[in-house]
Amino acid sequence: MGKPTGFMEYEREPLPVLTPGERIGTWQEFHEHLPDSSLKRQGARCMDCGVPFCHTGEVMGGMATGCPIHNLIPEWNDLVYRGLWREALERLHKTNNFPEFTGRVCPAPCEGSCVLGIIEPPVTIKSIECSIVDRGFEEGWIVPRPPSRPTGKKVAVVGSGPAGLACADQLNQAGHEVTVLERADRIGGLLTYGIPAMKLDKEVVWRRVELLAAEGVRFLTGMDVGGNYPASRLQGDFDAAVLCCGATKPRDLPVEGRHLDGVHFAMDYLHANTQSLLDSNLQDGEYISARDKDVIVIGGGDTGTDCVGTALRHGCRSLVQFEILSRPPDSRAPDNPWPQWPRIYRMDYGQEEAAALFGADPRRFSIMTVKMVGDASGRLQEVHTVGIRWSRNGSRPSFERIPGTERVWPAQLVLLAMGFLGPEDRLPDQLGLERDPRSNIKADTSDYATTVPGIFAAGDVRRGQSLVVWAIREGREAARECDRFLMGSTRLP
């Protein structure tokens, strides 16, 4: 553990960040690291709780608890407290292939399950994790580790998001010849095109990709498996394949006016913006601009927040965000006990920025979109909404409209950020893969095997829309089971 009385002596120190006014004008990451002295104190707050729920990674009562990849959090907190940074990095890499990603974009379910968090602000686990790995790169401790014993087996990994990269890393370390097939023009999947640059600098992604390439992983872009790359080639060209291609089918909003010019899926908006930013620093105009527009983001979650932050950086005229659910409570509700992730009211970076610019949290809770109205040219002009009241009929929640709460909002840009419904159909249909009731590729966590021998599935394509940290866990575990399939046994964790 860290200092035995550290949790009683030191308060939680938040990461230093640029003010909302400063960061809205840039696409650079806005979080900075604490100095070593502060990080040592934060590591000392880890309290040797005996049963560290922070790294359980289980689901209790339908809610995730702790770290899904079972990071050895108390161990590297103690090592940081003692100034043993390289040893802390070794502990971190035992369970997490890419702590520089999770240290930036993970919502930190580990902190929601911190024992200290029952009575005090939890340990700053996420910021310590990010500081460890960034220091590892700065000091030159993270270098290519090519496998020493090739097996002669060829494996395809479809998709280069967090699940695909983790899977490829593990399989490569087992000695297999790994080829990652990515349909976009750059490697990284969600990490590159789904998460904005101010939240995850793309150089951070490509730094790790270059490391994997130096270790022997082969990356091919422009390979749309099921499109320009027939899915049948996976079985003909490789000894096994792992599908890590995400849950990319967006949830639509079937209301009048959905077809109007100015209504877009959130991921189309975010992808185009990042691609234009990388290609030309937004000079080519090949993106959906929010400049001088009244913007409405429909849906919450990380994707909705990223749309808010992006629209503000474009220079939108106004911005509101609709959430159909009720406003969360300020503290844990009785049905949301520790160590579950706390479902409480909080503002993420996008809402903080909007509040600084426009004076209030942009979210409107318990509101439903009724229709959209355009002008004679088919361009979006208005969004009509009504307030709703939630109730519970047995175990199922339901809602009713509240008379007199109808409202009309000006809007020239609407971004639909209501989640995803599973994978696209072409690839699983071509391979004849069985689906689960939610349309995801059917494969359980005992072996990650699909209904077609030699084809495995991991990440969002198997479990549905989820977190980067869950994708890394599934990529690692699917690699282990793929290795077992190829070799008869495995040494992968």
Residue pLDDT, tens place only, 418-433: 999 999 999 999 999 9
CA-to-CA distance for 449 and 320, rounded, in angstroms? 43
Answer for the pair 48, 81: CB distance below 8 angstroms, yes or no.
no
The predicted pLDDT at position 59 comes to: 83
Q: Report the candidate in 165, 141, 71, 139 with the shortest Cα–Cα distance to residue 109.
A: 71
Q: Which residue has the tokens 């967006």?
A: 250
3-class SS shares of the chain: helix, strand, coil, % to 5 = 35, 20, 45
Q: Which residue has the tokens 């400049």?
A: 291
Q: What's domain 263-416's superfamily in CATH?
A: FAD/NAD(P)-binding domain (3.50.50.60)
Query: What is the band of 1 on the pLDDT scale with cuts at 50, 70, 90?
Result: low
Whether 200 has a pLDDT exceeding 70, the answer reads: yes
Q: Where are the domains of the chain?
A: 6-138, 154-248+421-487, 263-416
Percent pLDDT > 90 in the chain is 92
Mean confidence (pLDDT) of the chain: 96
Kindly state the tokens that stand for 173: 């370390």
C-alpha distance from residue 117 to each of 16, 112, 332 (Å): 21, 7, 12
The predicted pLDDT at position 393 comes to: 80
In the CATH hierarchy, which top-level class contains the domain 154-248+421-487?
alpha beta
* Mean pLDDT, residues 330-357 taken together: 94
CA-to-CA distance for 178 and 368, rounded, in angstroms? 47
Domains 6-138 and 154-248+421-487 share a fold: no
The per-residue pLDDT for range 383-415, each reduced to its tens digit, is 999 999 999 887 788 999 999 999 999 999 999
- Cα angle for residues 440, 304, 327 (degrees, 5° grid): 100
CA-to-CA distance for 278 and 311, rounded, in angstroms? 17
Q: Mapped to the 3 state alphabet, what secondary structure does 243-297 carry?
A: ECCCCCCECCCCCECCCCECEEEHHHHHHHHHHHHHHHCCCCCCCCCCCCCEEEE
Q: Which residue has the tokens 């300020």?
A: 330
* Mean pLDDT, residues 252-265 taken together: 98
Whether 197 has a pLDDT exceeding 80, the answer reads: yes
Q: Which residue has the tokens 């844990």?
A: 332
Q: Name the pTM for this structure.
A: 0.96
Kindly state the tokens that stand for 332: 């844990």
Q: What's domain 6-138's superfamily in CATH?
A: Alpha-helical ferredoxin (1.10.1060.10)
> Mind giving me the DSSP string for 410-441?
E-SEEEE---B-S--SHHHHHHT--B-TTSSB
**How many other CB atoms are there within 10 angstroms of residue 316's CB atom?**
22
What strand order describes the sheet that includes 240-243? 218-220, 177-181, 154-158, 240-243, 455-457
* Mean pLDDT, residues 151-172 taken together: 98
The predicted pLDDT at position 61 comes to: 80
First to last CA, the chain: 25
Q: Which residues sit opposite 63 in a β-bridge?
A: 60
Query: What is the band of 442 on the pLDDT scale with cuts at 50, 70, 90?
Result: very high
* Mean pLDDT, residues 247-254 taken together: 96
Answer for the pair 23, 198: CB distance below 8 angstroms, yes or no.
yes
